[in-house]
Amino acid sequence: MMSEEESYLQEIRNEYERKSFFLHHDLGADVHWLFTQALSALDSELYLPACTSFVNGIEASLRITMAQIKKPCIVMDLDNISTLSNSLLLVAQNNGLPIEALAFPEEKLFLKNLNSKRPNKTDVEIVRIRHNLCHGNFLEYTNTDLGEGNYFFTPECCRPLAHQLHDLCCEWTVQLGKFRAELFKRSNQL
């Protein structure tokens, strides 16, 4: 049995590991700070900034990694890399990135939707969420529990999404970190 002091020290270690998780997977400062700030926002119950920062971290990590696949060096410009979309995810998949780690647990049609084409194109969930959040469409998170005429939205309505995105980003970080380690081992130029 742990003493009270040992228990307290273990709690501090666990919290440190949680807060520094994104720093330890070789994503680069231009990415890991987006995730770290998202976690800080989540811990402060700032759910909208948490959601947008987690999504921005995913998008930045994809775009930067794709740029480094093209030219393994420090990235200074992302203008020629598309923003988060099914198309970008398909290109990333074709380049070996572990994009399946971006599928939500209940998203059973991830690969089917990823490969869908117009006129029946369906965005994968992370792309759909990105588009909604970045364009201010929070309607699906409106609380309707009190019945018609009593609908409301507060940032807390996005709490479950913020926690889902945190879990998704943790898995993405682990998988992308492994991919990037192999990529840079092969290129040995960064």
For 14-64, give the secondary structure using H, E and C: HHHHHHHHHHHCCCCHHHHHHHHHHHHHHHCCCHHHHHHHHHHHHHHHHHH
Per-residue pLDDT of the chain (190 residues), as tens digits, is 888 888 888 888 988 888 889 998 888 888 999 999 999 999 999 999 999 999 999 999 999 999 998 887 788 888 888 899 999 999 999 999 999 999 999 999 999 999 999 999 999 999 999 999 999 888 899 998 888 888 989 999 999 999 999 999 999 999 999 999 988 777 764 4
Q: How far apart are CA 86 and CA 100, in angstroms?
A: 12
Confidence (pTM)? 0.90
Residue spans per domain, the chain: 4-187
Supply the pLDDT for residue 72.
75
Cα 36 to Cα 23: distance, rounded to the nearest angstrom: 8
Across the chain, what does the average pLDDT equal?
92
The confidence score (pLDDT) of residue 99 equals: 97
pLDDT, one tens digit per residue, over 125-141 is 999 999 999 998 888 99
